[in-house]
């Protein structure tokens, strides 16, 4: 059978080339997404400042027992340094702390954002002095030589440093060179501890192992010393996580994105490969019938088809292993450019993505070939010859069963989408779109007959004899027509559904932000942040109606005591639920935002209290202690004093700004919302709050429109990243569309030649094909619109509270026009090429 399969490849180049293209591109995309998934899971970054440390001890960013992360930096107690130093084999345990800083030159103009560290941590780089001396006292600093050049500073100069919301004059004592980022400066160890975001806490510990000591034993001893603590021990490229915590927190975004779109790409690959192979084997029904008629057994026919498919699949997927990882690395570069993931994240694409992508494509191809060959092999020889000519076979029960399951699953997911919060709706809408497309695709011949019947009279009325011929072809060859219609449906349906899914979610988030913001001004600081108490001071200024600190963060709502008591040890242990947390000023938050209090009072919001959004407050009572974890993993049990509106899932728990800021990476208030008194202009108020008599040096003011624009730009960036992945998947669907149309039209040389021999002109044949292409496009576009509508209406109801999704109509028109042009252009170009063959030569080549 292998020999026969190899010989048959020579005589069916068109079908096998089409199958090769579908398998090659599908496997490459799945491998690329698999590599991104592996990159996110590993979360590796090359160490820089901590390169000299053999082992780095740092806080574990992972939520215990779950694949979730704490968004704020998880820090260690200072006492951990002495514990690490006491471990046998440890030569030195060096603490490291990161202090957000701004360097302002002596002239006072401009400023460079930087990160400060204690001088002792230079041993971990290692760093070396190239000029001057080390900082040894208060208000002394050593600058990275590259940072000094940018700031225009040299040893002996005075620079102003913004540290932890304050400004102070520092003397530059020296310049250093080292492997870390250019925006690095070093303070005395005492100053670094004084300005640390959290007093009594450090970021990490660099462990230097004594010469001749086995690193594995030291690591095991450290593991025992910190048993039960939320600590990670890092070696190799893992050490970069301690320097760049965004590698851990933001790589989870990469995991979710690559998993969703990788799964979507795999599903599209299954659909496209099965459709392409099915169409290819369908075109060979006459050959299969002849093989059966001359005595070939069903088993021999199946084995021949499987052998052919296996050869093509292995060749295509093996070649796809070359561009797949490179495509993943290119996509990661685009994510880095957009700021979605940090630039330090190292791309990793090992054997697992290669085997997964190639294996999925090969198994899909063999499965599709087995189903198609099984149907051909089970038919009696005389019936096979008749069916090869007329294509009368209907849908088998297996196909109908899977179609019903896909449509039922899609309907269920659509109902869930409409029922859940708008912020989460996209997670169920995306797989729903693929299930709708798969269900319609499995029912392709039946739906194509239905669409042909609906379009019969309009097409016949407007296109005359050419239309009548096209309709007769469509009726006699419904299966072939379905093979051309389904790729059009897939490309248009997925493009419209996925693009408008992103625009609708973008609009929902932006609308929630705009509806919630009532402040006239937003204050920020050139020093990187402000103390929480500053908001109360600003609230008392003339012209200010209200002011509230605003500290966005996130954490987890922990299982209640009742839930833990009810757990019997069977099944999944209750875990924390992710929760947005916002630090606010109780006196000013209701005037500066549109937060709606449903029960209780925000006036009671103080230390150890919380106001929960309505969805998170279910099952809790006012006055109850609520178990939570803050953004840095700290366990708290604040008392519930109020519940607030949810804003279709975009709401957050409210806590005092001073409490939330203590558990953030920077430890400061990034923004203060200010509402002006009636009659007080925002421009004049901004000048008073940031001018010479400002409550704090370095304050900056922006009006509401600036903040709204910044939020929209951030949402647009996230949407652009999703567009990039959507374009990759939809681009593959478009390749499949062209592929299928070329194959479906190109194999009709014999049919065209017969028409030419009985008197039809080349123009008549082309006009007939034009009508067929229009019929294919209209049927595919209609089904694609149904897929998109079934996906987007539930999503829009959840996100926007209406049936119509958000987004420019131009996108819809562009997708429909592109599909129409591709279908017409590909069909007519292929038909024109097929008509170049002399009729007698085409008949002879097939017979």
569-602 pLDDT per residue, tens: 666 677 888 999 999 999 899 888 888 899 999 9
Mind spelling out the 3-state secondary structure of 394-457?
Answer: CCCHHHHHHHHHHHHHHHHHHHHHHHCCHHHCHHHHHHHHHHHHHHHHHCHHHHHHHHHHHHHH
Q: What is the mean pLDDT of residues 93-105?
A: 89
Helix, strand, or coil here: 350? Answer: coil
Say yes or no to pLDDT of 51 above 80: yes
Residue with tokens 């997670």: 427
Contact in structure between 263 and 431 (CB atoms under 8 Å):
yes
Of 733 and 535, more confident: 535
Identify the H or E element spanning 95. strand 90-96
- pLDDT value of position 215: 92
Please, which residues have CB within 8 angstroms of residue 148's CB and are 6 or more apart in sequence? 154, 172, 175
135 in the Ramachandran plot: left (φ > 0), alpha (ψ -120 to 50) or beta? Answer: beta
- pLDDT value of position 208: 94
305-357 pLDDT per residue, tens: 788 788 888 989 999 999 999 999 998 998 888 778 888 899 998 888 888 88
Would you state the structure tokens that stand for residue 288, as one six-digit string? 């299969």
Q: What is the mean pLDDT of residues 15-42?
A: 86
Q: Which of 528, 696, 690 shows the shortest CA–CA distance to 102?
A: 528
Lowest-pLDDT range of 208-217, 552-561, 731-740: 731-740
Say yes or no to pLDDT of 391 above 70: no
Could you tell me the pTM of the whole model?
A: 0.81
Say yes or no to pLDDT of 826 above 90: no
Contact in structure between 249 and 69 (CB atoms under 8 Å):
yes
In this structure, what DSSP letter does residue 63 have? P
Q: Which of 165, 162, 143 shows the shortest CA–CA distance to 153?
A: 143
In this structure, what DSSP letter does residue 117 have? E
The whole-angstrom separation of Cα 2 and Cα 533 is: 79
Would you state the structure tokens that stand for residue 609, as one six-digit string? 């209290």
Say yes or no to pLDDT of 13 above 90: no
- pLDDT value of position 83: 94
The whole-angstrom separation of Cα 232 and Cα 57 is: 6
621-631 pLDDT per residue, tens: 999 999 999 99
Q: Percent of the chain at pLDDT above 70?
A: 89
Distances in Å between the Cα of 607 and the Cα atoms of 74, 583, 636, 639 are 22, 11, 11, 9
Backbone φ and ψ for 594, nearest 5 degrees, come out as -100, 25
Q: On the CB side of 552, how many CA atoms lie within 13 Å of its CA?
A: 5
Contact in structure between 651 and 644 (CB atoms under 8 Å):
yes
Q: What is the mean pLDDT of residues 199-218?
A: 93
Would you state the structure tokens that stand for residue 433, as one six-digit string? 């779109």
214-230 pLDDT per residue, tens: 999 999 999 999 998 99
Q: With the CA atoms of 163, 168, 174 and 177 taken in that order, what torsion angle do they form, in degrees rounded to the nearest 10?
A: 20
Count the helix, strand and coil residues of the chain and give each as a percent rounded to the nearest 5. 55, 15, 25
Distances in Å between the Cα of 807 and the Cα atoms of 59, 705, 734, 796, 804 are 43, 21, 22, 11, 9
Cis peptide before 617 (omega within 30 of 0): no
| Cα 383-389-390 angle, rounded to 5 deg | 85
| Cα 821-827-829 angle, rounded to 5 deg | 95
Please, which residues have CB within 8 angstroms of residue 161's CB and are 6 or more apart in sequence? 101, 102, 103, 104, 116, 141, 167, 168, 169, 170, 185
Model confidence band, residue 846 (pLDDT cutoffs 50, 70, 90)? very low
Backbone φ and ψ for 299, nearest 5 degrees, come out as -65, -40
Model confidence band, residue 847 (pLDDT cutoffs 50, 70, 90)? very low
In this structure, what DSSP letter does residue 585 have? -
| Cα 156-159-161 angle, rounded to 5 deg | 135
Of 268 and 237, more confident: 237
Please, which residues have CB within 8 angstroms of residue 134's CB and are 6 or more apart in sequence? 119, 122, 142, 173, 174, 186
Q: Which of 291, 280, 224, 232 shows the shortest CA–CA distance to 70?
A: 232
The whole-angstrom separation of Cα 601 and Cα 641 is: 6
Mind spelling out the 3-state secondary structure of 201-233?
Answer: EECEEEEEECCCCCHHHHHHHHHHHCCCCCEEE
């Amino acid at each position: 059978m292998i020999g026969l399969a190899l010989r048959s490849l020579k005589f069916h180049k068109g079908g096998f080339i089409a199958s090769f293209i579908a398998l090659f591109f599908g496997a490459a995309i799945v491998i690329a997404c698999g590599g991104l998934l592996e990159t996110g899971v590993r979360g590796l970054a090359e160490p820089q400042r901590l390169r000299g440390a053999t082992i780095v001890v740092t806080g574990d960013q992972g939520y215990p027992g779950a694949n979730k992360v704490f968004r704020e930096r998880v820090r260690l107690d200072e006492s951990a340094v002495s514990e690490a130093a006491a471990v046998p084999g440890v030569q030195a345990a060096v603490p490291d702390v990161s202090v957000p800083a701004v360097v302002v030159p002596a002239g006072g103009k401009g400023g460079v954002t930087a990160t400060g560290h204690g001088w002792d941590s230079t041993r971990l780089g290692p760093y070396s002095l190239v000029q001057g001396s080390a900082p040894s006292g208060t208000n002394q600093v050593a600058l990275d030589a590259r940072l000094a050049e940018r700031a225009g500073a040299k040893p002996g100069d005075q620079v102003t440093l913004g540290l932890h919301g304050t400004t102070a004059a520092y003397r530059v004592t020296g310049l250093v060179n080292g492997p870390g980022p250019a925006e690095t400066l070093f303070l005395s160890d005492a100053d670094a501890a004084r300005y640390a975001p959290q007093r009594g806490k450090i970021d990490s510990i660099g462990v230097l192992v004594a010469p001749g000591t086995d690193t594995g034993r030291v690591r095991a001893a450290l593991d025992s010393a910190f048993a039960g603590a939320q600590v990670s021990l890092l070696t190799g490229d893992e050490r970069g996580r301690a320097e760049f915590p965004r590698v851990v927190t933001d790589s989870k975004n990469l995991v979710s994105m690559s998993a969703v779109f990788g799964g979507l790409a795999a599903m599209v690959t299954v659909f496209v490969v099965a459709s392409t192979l099915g169409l290819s084997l369908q075109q060979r029904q006459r050959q299969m019938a002849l093989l059966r008629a001359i005595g070939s057994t069903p088993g021999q026919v199946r084995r021949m088809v499987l052998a052919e498919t296996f050869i093509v699949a292995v060749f295509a997927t093996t070649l796809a292993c070359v561009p797949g990882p490179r495509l993943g690395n290119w996509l990661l570069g685009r994510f880095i450019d957009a700021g979605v993931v940090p630039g330090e994240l190292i791309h990793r694409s090992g054997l697992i993505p290669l085997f997964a992508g190639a294996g999925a494509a090969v198994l899909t191809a063999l499965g599709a070939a087995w189903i198609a060959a099984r149907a051909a092999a089970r038919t009696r020889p005389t019936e096979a010859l008749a069916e090869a000519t007329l294509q009368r076979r209907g849908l088998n029960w297996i196909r109908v069963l899977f179609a019903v399951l896909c449509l039922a699953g899609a309907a269920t997911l659509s109902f869930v989408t409409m029922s859940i919060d708008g912020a989460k709706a996209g997670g169920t809408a995306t797989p729903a779109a693929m299930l709708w497309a798969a269900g319609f695709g499995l029912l392709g011949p039946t739906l194509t007959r239905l669409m042909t019947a609906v379009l019969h009279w309009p097409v016949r009325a407007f296109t005359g004899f050419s239309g009548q011929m096209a309709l007769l072809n469509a009726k006699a060859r419904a299966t072939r027509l379905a093979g051309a219609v389904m790729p059009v449906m897939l490309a248009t349906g997925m493009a419209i559904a996925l693009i408008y899914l992103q625009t609708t979610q973008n609009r929902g988030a932006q609308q929630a932000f705009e509806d919630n913001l009532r402040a006239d001004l937003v204050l920020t600081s050139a020093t990187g942040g402000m103390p929480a108490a500053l908001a109360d001071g600003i609230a008392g200024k003339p012209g200010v109606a209200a002011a509230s600190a605003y500290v966005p963060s996130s954490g987890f709502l922990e299982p209640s005591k009742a839930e833990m008591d009810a757990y019997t040890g069977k099944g999944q242990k209750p875990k924390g639920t992710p929760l947005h947390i916002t630090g606010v000023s109780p006196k000013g938050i209701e005037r500066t935002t549109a937060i709606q209090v449903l029960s209780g009072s925000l006036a009671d919001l103080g230390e150890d209290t919380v106001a929960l959004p309505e969805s998170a407050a279910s099952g809790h009572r006012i006055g109850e202690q609520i178990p939570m974890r803050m953004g840095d993993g700290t366990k708290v049990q604040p008392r519930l004093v109020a519940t607030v509106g949810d804003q279709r899932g975009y709401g957050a728990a409210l806590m005092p700004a001073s409490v939330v800021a203590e558990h953030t990476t920077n430890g400061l208030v990034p923004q203060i919302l200010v509402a002006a008194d009636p009659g007080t202009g925002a421009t004049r108020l901004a000048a008073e709050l940031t001018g010479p008599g400002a409550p704090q040096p370095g304050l900056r003011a922006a009006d509401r429109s600036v903040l709204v624009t910044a939020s929209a730009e951030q949402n647009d960036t996230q949407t652009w990243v999703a567009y990039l992945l959507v374009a990759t998947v939809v681009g593959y669907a478009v390749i499949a569309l062209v592929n299928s149309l070329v194959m479906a039209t190109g194999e009709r040389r014999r049919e065209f030649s017969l028409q030419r021999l009985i008197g039809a002109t080349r123009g008549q044949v082309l006009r007939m094909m034009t009508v067929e292409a229009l019929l294919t496009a209209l049927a595919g576009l209609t089904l694609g619109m149904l897929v998109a509508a079934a996906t987007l209406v539930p999503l829009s109801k959840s996100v926007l509270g209406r049936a119509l999704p958000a987004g420019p109509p131009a996108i819809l028109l562009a997708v429909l026009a592109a599909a129409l042009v591709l279908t017409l252009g590909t069909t007519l170009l292929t038909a024109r090429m097929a008509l170049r063959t002399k009729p007698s030569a085409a008949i002879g080549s097939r017979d």
